[in-house]
Amino acid sequence: MTKPLLDVQHVEVSYSGRPVVHDVSFQMKPGEVLGIVGESGSGKSTLIKAAMGLLGNNGVITKGDIYYKGHNVIDAKYDDIRKMRGPEMGMIFQNTEAVLCPIRTIEEQLYESVTQHERVSRAEIRTRAREIFDKMNLTDSDRILKSYPFELSGGMNQRVGIMMAMILKPDLLFADEPTSALDVTVQAQIVREMMKMHELYGMAIAMVTHNIGVVAHMADKIAVMYQGRLVEYGKKEDVIYHPQEPYTKKLIGAVLRINRGED
C-alpha cells in the first residue's frame, strides 16, 4: 500500500481556547485530489491552515496529529515548517492579489519567494515562470512578470498564484477557494489550469470550495465538513451518488436542483 502523503488523525483545532474543528481524520495519497466542501464557518480553511502551520497567534491544534510524509507537523519546529512551505506544501489563496505586496512587481516577489528555498538566478526563475505560463497558454509572461498585482485582472492574479506555487514543485498543493472571487467563465478556466498542472506535475491537491460542481469535476475524494466535524468522507462517486449523511444529501440535492434549473 502507498504510504500516505498527508495523514490527519483525530485533529481538534481551537481559537483562543474555543474548539472549532473536532476529531477530524483523513488521509491523502501522493497525487490524490481531495475536495473539501461544507457551509461557511464549518472549519474548512482552519483545517488546511492547521496542516500548513498557518493558524496564526490565537489558533492551536489542541488534539490529534498531522503527519506529512511520516513527519509529525505538530512537533516540527517553526523553521522546519517554514522550509516545507513552498517546495513540499504549496498554497493558492482565494485572492492572490490580497496576499501579494502591492508596491513590488510579480517578478520581484517571485524572486524573493524562490530564493528563500533555492540559490537560483533571476534569469533561471524567469525561464521557469515562462515555462509554467506557457503550459497555461499565456503568451505574455514577460509583461505579467513586470506588472504590479493591481495591474492584473483577478483571473490573471490567480494564474500568478498558481505559477508561484508550482514553480517550487510542491508534492501537496492546498487551494483555499481559489476561484470563488472570480466570475463564472474565469472560474472554469482556472479550474482547467489547475487540473492541467496536476496532470503535468502530479502533485496532490486539497481544495476547499463551496462549489460541488468543481469538486465533481476535479476530485478523487470528497470530505464534507459540517459544524467543525467531518461528516462524510470517501470516493467522489460514493459521496455524490450515495451520500449517507442528511447534510450531504441536502448539499448535493441543492446542486442537482440548480443544475436542473429548479431554483
Q: How far is the CB of 58 from ligand ATP (least distance, A)?
A: 5
Please check whether residue 81 is in contact with residue 48, taking contact to mean a CB–CB distance below 8 angstroms: no
CB-based contacts of 259, cutoff 8 Å, min separation 6? 213
Task: Catalog residues that contact ligand ATP under the rule CB under 6 A.
Answer: 15, 20, 38, 40-46, 56, 58-59
Q: How many CB atoms lie within 10 A of CB 91?
A: 22
> Would you say 45 or 157 has its CB closer to ligand ATP?
45
> Would you say 41 or 202 has its CB closer to ligand ATP?
41
> Would you say 58 or 139 has its CB closer to ligand ATP?
58
Please check whether residue 175 is in contact with residue 92, taking contact to mean a CB–CB distance below 8 angstroms: yes
Q: How far is the CB of 42 from ligand ATP (least distance, A)?
A: 4
Sign of CA dihedral 19, 58, 110, 82: negative
Q: Give the Cα separation of 170 and 89 in Å (integer).
A: 5
Question: Kindly report the CA angle at 171 between 200 and 4, in degrees rounded to 5?
Answer: 120
> Would you say 94 or 109 has its CB closer to ligand ATP?
94
Q: How far is the CB of 161 from ligand ATP (least distance, A)?
A: 17
Please check whether residue 76 is in contact with residue 114, taking contact to mean a CB–CB distance below 8 angstroms: no
> Would you say 36 or 145 has its CB closer to ligand ATP?
36
Identity of the amino acid at 134: D
Q: How far is the CB of 87 from ligand ATP (least distance, A)?
A: 25
Q: How far is the CB of 154 from ligand ATP (least distance, A)?
A: 18
> Would you say 58 or 116 has its CB closer to ligand ATP?
58
Q: How many CB atoms lie within 10 A of CB 27?
A: 16
Q: How many CB atoms lie within 10 A of CB 184?
A: 8
> Would you say 129 or 161 has its CB closer to ligand ATP?
161
Q: How far is the CB of 64 from ligand ATP (least distance, A)?
A: 16
Please check whether residue 47 is in contact with residue 236, taking contact to mean a CB–CB distance below 8 angstroms: no
Q: How far is the CB of 213 from ligand ATP (least distance, A)?
A: 16
Q: What cell numbers appear for 90 in the block?
A: 504549496
Q: What cell numbers appear for 166 in the block?
A: 508550482
Helix (H, G, I), strand (E, B) or coil at 140: coil
